[in-house]
Amino acid sequence: MSDRAAVTGARRVVVKVGSSSLTTAAGGIDPARVSALVDVLASVRAGGAEVVLVSSGAIAAGLAPLGLKKRPRGLAAQQAAASVGQGLLVHRYTEELARHGLTAGQVLLTLDDVTRRSHYRNAHQTFTKLLELGVIPIVNENDTVATTEIRFGDNDRLAALVAHLVHADLLVLLSDVDGLYDGPPHRPGAALIPEVRSAADLEGVAVGAAGVAGVGTGGMATKIDAASIATGSGIPVVLTSSDRAAAALAGEPVGTLFHASGRRRPTRQLWLRHATEAKGSVCLDAGAVRAVVERDASLLAAGITGVHGDFVAGDPIDLLAPDGSVVARGLVNFDARELPSLLGRSTKELKRELGAAYEREVVHRDDLVLL
């Protein structure tokens, strides 16, 4: 099998494009760039593969209509720009895809959509139906309503999580740089890294911050992080520039290919590890730590010695060892105010005294990931 066979053999592809690849520095959508990208996506569809597009650009597209010279710093101003720009962006995609007889479907996601079980299950079903109907989903973070505390932070990580959510065979990250270099690309002597097979291949690599155009949020570090999420879940990643998208998807040796390094993980575990922030924590005794870490057991109230934070059932929390180190993260089944009265007591005792509703685990094994 050739190194790029994983690319040419992919039947479901997630493509992520950054703001700098779609817009001018002034903030408006560049029609020629959008048209060229859609031509590539249509070609992939014509070849029999399904396509999901994760597209930045909503905030950037809203700058010019609002008379803003650059991306605003304040969250409220960013959300106003996103509100104006998202419609313009999707309208442009809709028109361009229609030239190829294809239909666009807008999917706006918040962090809750991929961290709460009922939400991501619904998101998965939505994507499945859209692809079944031949639609090309256009995905973005729901910037208009997302708060600072519940943001993905960048669309590279969002794209990696979406790739896992839709069971993609390939993730393509399109940037304003044609691949991963061993140093800043503009420096003399910087060399392109054609393949990454493990974290060892990234040792000594210096990565930069956000793009020079000033309209995006993600730099090379976020792309490497996204590649790590995807490859660790069995999904290969190609990183290159948008003008080389066609060559990359045709399997030509352009950009950087990150080889899949792991197997597909349960979705909840991926979300917990990469897309959540703990709302609180519980302290475990040594026996509970062994049960969770070594025996893959659920966390019961009997093994908890302390509760910290203000969380509610369904929130992600950290599980701490007696020395305070974080050993796992999981979705808790009780509110923080309920737990103190349950600590150190067996499930049988709790059921007998408080009823069957208290027989459940504090964190079920299926909703827990070791860190």
For the stretch 31-79, pLDDT in tens is 999 999 999 999 999 999 999 999 988 888 888 889 888 888 888 888 8
The CA distance from 196 to 104, in Å, is 33
Residue 328's DSSP bridge partners are 319, 370
CA 242, chain centre distance (Å): 20
Q: How far apart are CA 202 and CA 24, in angstroms?
A: 31
Give per-residue pLDDT as tens, 253-287.
Answer: 999 999 988 776 666 677 677 767 789 999 999 99
% of the chain residues with pLDDT over 70: 88
Q: Are 206 and 214 in contact (CB under 8 A)?
A: no
Task: Dump pLDDT digits (tens) for 8-35.
Answer: 999 999 999 988 888 776 667 889 999 9
Residue 248, pLDDT above cutoff 80: yes
User: For residue 168, is pLDDT > 90?
Assistant: yes
Tell me which residue of 59, 113, 54 sits closest to 86, measured CA to CA. Answer: 59
- pLDDT of residue 293 exceeding 60, the answer is yes
Tell me the pLDDT tens digit for each residue of 210-224.
443 344 444 788 888
Residue 196: beta bridge partners? 258
pTM of model > 0.85:
no
CB 202 within 8 A of CB 4: no
